[in-house]
């Protein structure tokens, strides 16, 4: 008799068997500074008005398959140029998956610098594409020459650039990205998940570059639980990518809530402004600890490097003090001894800084 293990080995591709599951630690009562969530709750009046709108939803009916009302609202909230097309996804993760599926074929590859957002590698592997990664420089800036060489040699079907980058927090040089756009025959996806916390964007470059796609999400601005992302690009590309979308990828609850939230975008803009202010304080506090190397950030988190060999102990010590951060030590050579902290509420940041100081 064949065991389940034997069958799995025979039928599941080696690249998929080799993947680790996406592991999310349980936060419990810990102060949650691990996942780039917006810590600010909704004002009560907003919550009540939202629940009132949900009352009218008819869940016996299928959702609008193309989420037209939400598309209009999201285009305006995210300053998408009129000439560009958009597709909405169940989080930007789903849009990354759709982009990769659209160009997936034997022998094709996906290119990205590393360290970066882990889903590019994961989704490429699941779709059966080779993943080519180019190490970032010591200061986490883009190695433009190595990227351009890889583009010439490998002709990647898609290049992913997180802008600002996760988990490093920095913006890559815009000139280097322009050079990549010029050199690439394939798609270049500029992933702007942290747009609420920076002024930099490639959204206005869409008209000039027909191989450019810009990704946005509402997750980091304060709606991580909603699952809603936006892809903007040329009509020709988006018409094809949209064919890989499952017809009802955004439920009616998502569509109605997304429209409601975007109508009250000034609430989230104000929260993002408070997060940027708190980021400056958190950065100064970390920089005041002389045994840390602290990396500048244009996002809602800060990466820092602890003294050699101490990251795991610091991570556990913070947990015992009631604080959850992200431990990146062991995930990649470039991130040795590194921890990443999300900007929280002012008092949470203070608690974190005091607890960290105790650990050093």
Binding residues for ligand PLP, per CB under 6 A?
36, 91-93, 117, 162, 166, 191, 193, 217, 219, 224, 229
Q: How far is the CB of 249 from ligand PLP (least distance, A)?
A: 12
Of 328 and 355, the one with the shorter C-beta distance to ligand PLP is 328
Which two structure tokens, joined as six digits, stand for 221? 């601005």
Q: How far is the CB of 177 from ligand PLP (least distance, A)?
A: 15
Of 132 and 193, the one with the shorter C-beta distance to ligand PLP is 193
Of 102 and 219, the one with the shorter C-beta distance to ligand PLP is 219
Neighbouring-strand partners of residue 326: 340
Of 228 and 353, the one with the shorter C-beta distance to ligand PLP is 228
Q: How far is the CB of 91 from ligand PLP (least distance, A)?
A: 3
Pure H helices in 55-132: 68-77, 91-103, 119-126
Return the exposure string of 199-228: e unless at least 16 CB atoms fall within 10 Å of the residue's CB, then b: eebbbebbeebebbbbbbbbbbbbbbebbb
Of 215 and 294, the one with the shorter C-beta distance to ligand PLP is 215
Pure H helices in 55-199: 68-77, 91-103, 119-126, 144-154, 174-183
Q: What angle do CA 159, 16, 249 make, to 5 degrees?
A: 65
Which helix (H) or strand (E) segment is 223 a member of? Answer: none
Q: How far is the CB of 164 from ligand PLP (least distance, A)?
A: 8
Q: Are 112 and 156 in contact (CB under 8 A)?
A: no
Q: How far is the CB of 217 from ligand PLP (least distance, A)?
A: 3
Q: Are 189 and 180 in contact (CB under 8 A)?
A: no
Q: How far is the CB of 33 from ligand PLP (least distance, A)?
A: 15
Of 209 and 254, the one with the shorter C-beta distance to ligand PLP is 254
Q: Are 229 and 95 in contact (CB under 8 A)?
A: yes
Q: How far is the CB of 334 from ligand PLP (least distance, A)?
A: 16
Of 193 and 306, the one with the shorter C-beta distance to ligand PLP is 193
Q: What is the DSSP letter of 207?
A: G
Q: What is the DSSP letter of 216?
A: E
Q: Are 172 and 165 in contact (CB under 8 A)?
A: yes
User: What does each C-alpha distance from 221 to 36, 116, 196, 259, 351 come to in angstroms?
Assistant: 9, 20, 6, 15, 23
Q: How far is the CB of 172 from ligand PLP (least distance, A)?
A: 12
Which two structure tokens, joined as six digits, stand for 47? 């919550």
Of 87 and 353, the one with the shorter C-beta distance to ligand PLP is 87
Q: How far is the CB of 342 from ligand PLP (least distance, A)?
A: 11
Of 36 and 67, the one with the shorter C-beta distance to ligand PLP is 36
For 228, residues 6+ apart whose C-beta sits below 8 A from its C-beta are 70, 74, 88, 89, 90, 91, 217, 218, 219, 250, 254, 258
**Which of 204, 198, 122, 207 minimizes the C-alpha distance to 160?**
122
């Amino acid at each position: 008799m064949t065991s389940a293990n034997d069958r799995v080995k025979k039928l599941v591709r080696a690249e998929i068997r080799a993947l680790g599951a996406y592991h999310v630690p349980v936060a419990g009562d810990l102060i949650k500074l691990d996942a780039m969530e917006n810590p600010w709750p909704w004002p009560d009046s907003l919550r009540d008005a939202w629940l009132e709108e949900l009352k009218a939803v008819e869940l016996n009916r299928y959702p609008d398959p193309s989420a037209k009302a939400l598309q209009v609202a999201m285009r305006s909230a995210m300053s998408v140029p009129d000439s560009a097309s958009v597709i909405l996804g169940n989080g930007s993760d789903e849009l990354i998956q759709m982009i990769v599926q659209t160009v997936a074929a034997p022998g094709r590859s996906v290119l990205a610098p590393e360290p970066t957002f882990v889903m590019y590698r994961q989704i490429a592997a699941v779709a059966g594409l080779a993943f080519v990664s180019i190490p970032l420089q010591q200061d986490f800036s883009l190695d433009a020459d190595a990227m351009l060489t890889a583009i010439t040699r490998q002709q990647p079907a898609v290049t992913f650039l997180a802008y600002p980058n996760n988990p490093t927090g920095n913006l890559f040089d815009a000139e280097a990205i322009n050079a990549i756009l010029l050199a690439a025959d394939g798609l270049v996806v500029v992933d702007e998940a942290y747009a609420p916390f920076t002024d930099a964007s490639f959204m206005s470059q869409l008209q000039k570059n027909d191989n450019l796609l810009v990704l946005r999400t509402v997750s980091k601005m304060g709606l991580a639980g909603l699952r809603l992302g936006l892809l903007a690009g040329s009509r020709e590309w988006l018409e094809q990518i949209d064919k890989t979308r499952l017809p009802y990828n955004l439920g009616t609850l998502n569509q109605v809530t997304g429209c409601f939230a975007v109508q009250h975008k000034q609430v989230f803009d104000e929260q993002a402004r408070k997060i940027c202010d708190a980021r400056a304080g958190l950065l100064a506090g970390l920089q005041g600890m002389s045994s840390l190397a602290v990396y500048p950030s244009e996002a809602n988190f800060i990466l820092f490097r602890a003294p050699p060999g101490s990251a795991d102990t610091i991570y556990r010590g913070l947990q015992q003090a009631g604080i959850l951060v992200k431990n990146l030590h062991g995930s990649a050579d470039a991130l040795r001894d590194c921890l990443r902290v999300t900007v929280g509420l002012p008092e949470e940041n203070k608690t974190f800084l005091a607890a960290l100081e105790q650990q050093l």
